[in-house]
Amino acid sequence: MLASIKVNNRNHTIDLSKPLDISIPMKGNASDVNAWYIEHSRIEPHTEGEFVGAVSKGAAINFNHIWFSPHAHGTHTECVGHLTEEFHSINKSLNQYFFYAEVVTLAPEKQKNDFVISKKQLQYAFGNKKRDALIIRTLPNFKDKTSKQYSYTNPPYLTEEAAKFLVDKEVEHLLIDLPSVDKEKDGGELLAHRAFWNFNCKMRKQATITELIYVPNSIEDGTYFLNLQVAPFENDASPSRPVLYRNIEE
């Protein structure tokens, strides 16, 4: 099914029957992607006395409880409320769901004892494009990203200057296949988060960061339309399902 979208006074066509899902699902076991030193997510049947909420256990229905942390388990989208004393909800901050987006692939570069995504790399990959959203795929890009255990591994991250560059380019939605845009242990500085949300000036309350995505190698770098939806939790972060659609020129 084809749909028409107007961006920058130009009509574009997408095929809604050909979505490209770049989220990582939660299965509720130890094979789930995980970060931040907590146990894996769980999906378990409700129990009450002799009742077990599973058809396989004799119940008439499946009735599961789900335990998870948005920031640690699977693809999630967060708003500035991740850092503020005042409450801000991703469910309120994200009120549009289709965005003009660019996919770029970068190999994090060595900086002292870390691997980082630098401003120079983004300048080269993104150039002077005008996009609402940027999706960053890092190299190497193996399927094990969907089950990686990130705690204590010091994953790559964005430099503060790289995040500021995206603000200058008016990118409002940043998506990345890492557990955080910041260093795993940085003493609470969170420099890239703070820079992207322009934390110390006029905060970009409409801007979002989506972490722990997975962009298969079959998806080429280039321009797409992004549909970004979150579960309607009134929280700073929520599980999300970013989906890309290729642009079909009219």
Structural domain boundaries in the chain: 2-32+70-248
DSSP at 227:
E
Q: Is 70 exceeded by the pLDDT of residue 190? A: yes
| β-bridge partners, 76 | 211, 239
DSSP at 80:
G
- pTM of this structure: 0.95
Band (249; pLDDT cuts 50, 70, 90): low
pLDDT of residue 4: 82
Helix, strand, coil distribution of the chain in percent, nearest 5 = 15, 35, 50
Question: In sequence order, what E strands does 107-160 have?
Answer: 109-111, 114-117, 133-138, 157-158
Q: Are 19 and 245 in contact (CB under 8 A)?
A: yes
The CATH number that domain 2-32+70-248 falls under is: 3.50.30.50
pLDDT of residue 250: 46
At 116-168, the pLDDT tens digits run 999 999 999 999 999 999 999 999 999 999 999 999 999 999 999 999 999 99
pLDDT of residue 12: 80
At 83-120, the pLDDT tens digits run 999 999 999 999 999 999 999 999 999 999 999 999 99
At 21-71, the pLDDT tens digits run 999 999 999 999 999 999 999 999 999 999 999 999 999 999 999 999 999
Q: Is 70 exceeded by the pLDDT of residue 8? A: no
Phi and psi at residue 127, in whole multiples of 5°?
A: 60, -140
Q: Kindly state the percentage of the chain with pLDDT values over 90.
A: 90
| β-bridge partners, 171 | none
pLDDT of residue 1: 82
Distances in whole angstroms, Cα of residue 246 to Cα of each of 133, 204, 220: 14, 28, 10
**What is the rounded CA–CA span in Å between residue 138 and residue 116?**
10
Per-residue tokens: 222: 């280039």
Phi and psi at residue 45, in whole multiples of 5°?
A: -70, 145
- Residue 135 region, left (φ>0) first, then alpha (ψ -120 to 50), else beta? beta
Q: Is the dihedral of CA 132, 79, 244, 230 positive or negative?
A: negative
Per-residue tokens: 157: 């991250």
